Amino acid sequence: MSKYKSVSFHKSIDNCRRVLTAVAAGLTATALPIAVLGLGTVGTLIYKVSALSAATMTPHLISDSSLVADRDIQLIAGASPEPVASEPQETAQEPKQPTSGTGGADDTVSSASNDNAAAQSTEARRGMVKEKQIKNTGVNYGNIYVKDGNSNYDPDIARMLNTPAQCKIKKNAGYQVLLVHTHTTEGYADSSKDWYDKDVNPRTTDKSESVVAVADEIEKKLNAAGIKTLHVTTYHDYPEYTGAYNRARETIKSYLAKYPSIEMVIDVHRDAMMLDDGTKIKPTVTIDGKKAAQVMIISGCDNDGTLDFSGWRNNLAMAVQLQKQLADDHEGLARPLYFAPYRYNMDLTPNSLLIEFGTDVNTLSEAKYSGRMVGDSLVKVLEQYVIGK
């Protein structure tokens, strides 16, 4: 797994990169060491320092208890608000070094002491994981729930379920659905356990182990049903995290311009939740005897009229209809839909959705299983909007 961590000296490395660049320019003018090392060697050194600086960036952990069912759970990563409402800033974490023995005259005492120190260090790095199913909070209608984060609008679920979405799907034609990732490096736990390592950053540049692999499962289901789907795996949160929604916005706009047949955009994320004592929440449900990561659909709203997002009701109609289909197909798979006072780039198409698959302590296999089930339910929803049958 190719994971990256943050260290506190990334700003110093950036300064070193600039100094090296200036030095390289001066040396080029005097043509002294370059004659020996060659331009390629100097350029390689500058590139490596620059790459190290970029690799040390990591997102800031934020809190927003309104995203989840329990009052004592906080969001620490995932679908953070887009810049118009605030976006998380980077923070640096000093990596802890493992304890190792140095030998000596009293090797037995030293070894025992080091073993004890290592055990204490390992224990200190461990945080607890609480597995639970999040359900039945917010506004209820039939077998679905909507958690309302807005102050000026209440979700009329019945109306949304009976309001046709502005969606026209053509089978076996041009691209109909676009899958993207604002936070492309969001990853999962490498195994199912009741603890997590506090030193491990749950983000990865390995697309086979991140939310990209989850979206691959959705893509397969849609394409198999004749709903041509384009999955864009561009990094928007790496090497820099801040501004990810702005960069994703430009990507989405470019593909909508290139493929005007696209009717729906889905931003695939994973969540992360933590209790006040540092315990992380693992939302799961067992379906057909197999454990799945719970999913959460997010639909944005222009709560106070400042987001230039007048078409939010169209997105909400599609979101509620998918929420209902998931509840009918796989009871408990979906957490309550979050009706949020943010835009999340959903103003770009009338059928935009943001879906979070599990948290950072769910396993990839649990999230991929959920991806397949969401893909099946999404096909059923979009089948209602197929034209030219």
**For residue 168, what pLDDT is reported?**
97
Could you please report the per-residue DSSP string of 144-189? EEEEE--SS----HHHHHTS--S--B-TTSS--EEEE-TTTTBB-B
Q: Is residue 93 part of a domain?
A: no
Q: Is residue 83 part of a domain?
A: no
Amino acid at 84: V
Residue 4 has pLDDT above 60, yes or no: no
pLDDT tens digits, 148-199:
999 999 999 999 999 999 999 999 999 999 999 999 999 999 999 999 999 9
Same structural domain, 51 and 187: no
Rounded to an integer, the average pLDDT of 15-43 is 39
Distance between CA atoms of residues 384 and 369, nearest Å: 24
Q: Which of 264, 254, 294 is nearest to 78 (CA)?
A: 294
Q: Do 167 and 275 sit in the same domain of this protein?
A: yes
Give whole-number Cα distances, 22 to 35, 43, 50, 54, 116, in Å. Answer: 17, 12, 13, 19, 49
- Which of the listed ranges 81-85, 88-92, 261-265 does the model predict with the highest average pLDDT? 261-265
Do 144 and 256 belong to one domain?
A: yes
Same domain, 239 and 326: yes
Q: For residue 15, is it within any domain?
A: yes
Residue 158 sits in the same domain as residue 35: no
Q: Is the pLDDT of residue 327 over 50?
A: yes
* Pair (40, 151) in one structural domain: no
The residue ranking higher by pLDDT, 116 or 80, is: 116
Tally the domains of the chain: 2
pLDDT of 313 strictly over 50: yes
Q: How far apart are CA 346 and CA 307, in angstroms?
A: 11
The per-residue pLDDT for range 342-368, each reduced to its tens digit, is 999 999 999 999 999 999 999 999 999
Q: What is the pLDDT of residue 388?
A: 83
Residue 56 confidence (pLDDT) above 50: no
Given a contact cutoff of 8 angstroms between Cβ atoms, the answer to whether 330 and 284 are in contact is: no
**In a domain? residue 103:** no
Give the tokens for residue 173. 């034609």
Above 70 in pLDDT, residue 58? no
Residues 376, 238 share a domain = yes
The burial class, CB within 10 Å (0-12 / 13-18 / 19+), for 180 is: buried
Tokens 């994973």 found at: 270
Conformational region of residue 332, where left means phi above 0, alpha means psi within -120 to 50, and beta covers everything else: left
Res. 316: pLDDT tops 80: yes
Instruction: Note whether 144 and 293 are same-domain residues.
Output: yes
β-strands 264-275, 177-180 pairing? parallel
pLDDT the model gives residue 73: 45
Please choose, from the candidates 178, 199, 189, 77, the residue with its C-alpha nearest in 3D space to the C-alpha of residue 126: 199
Quote the pLDDT of residue 124.
Answer: 83
Which has more confidence, 75 or 323? Answer: 323
pLDDT at 114: 65
Across the chain, mean pLDDT equals 79
Question: What is the rounded distance in angstroms from the CA atom of residue 181 to the CA atom of residue 35?
Answer: 46
Q: Residue 5 domain-assigned?
A: no
Beta-bridge mates of residue 62: none
26 plus 141 within the same structural domain: no
What is the per-residue burial (b if ≥16 Cβ within 10 Å, else e) of 292-323?
Answer: bbbbbbbbbbbbeeebebebbbbbbbbbbbbb
Strands (E), 32-104: 73-77
| Same-domain status, 143 and 33 | no
pLDDT number for residue 112: 60
- Angle (CA) 308 325 143, round 5°: 95
Q: Is residue 122 part of a domain?
A: no
With CA atoms as reference, report the closest residue to 138 among 70, 63, 64, 62: 70
User: At 113, which helix (H) or strand (E)?
Assistant: helix 107-125
Give 189-214 pLDDT, tens digit per residue.
Answer: 999 999 999 999 999 999 999 999 99
Residue 37 lies in a domain: yes
What pLDDT score was predicted for residue 47?
Answer: 34
| 218-244 residue pLDDT tens | 999 999 999 999 999 999 999 999 999
Residue 224 burial (CB count, 10 A): 12
Residues 6+ apart with CB under 8 A from 67: 75, 78, 147, 149, 271, 273, 296, 338, 340
- Establish how many alpha carbons lie within 13 A of residue 350's alpha carbon, considering only the half-sphere containing its beta carbon: 10
372 and 255 co-located in one domain: yes
Answer yes or no: do 51 and 147 share one domain. Answer: no
pLDDT value at position 389? 66
For residues 81-93, average pLDDT = 37
Percent of the chain having pLDDT more than 70?
Answer: 69
CATH number at residue 219: 3.40.630.40
CB 227 within 8 A of CB 379: yes
What is the extent of the structural domain holding 31?
A: 10-55
The reply to whether omega before 239 is within 30° of 0 (cis) is yes
Check pLDDT > 80 for residue 120: no
Alpha-carbon span 313 to 150, nearest angstrom: 13
In a domain, 242, yes or no: yes
Contacts of 154 (CB under 8 A, 6+ apart): 139, 148
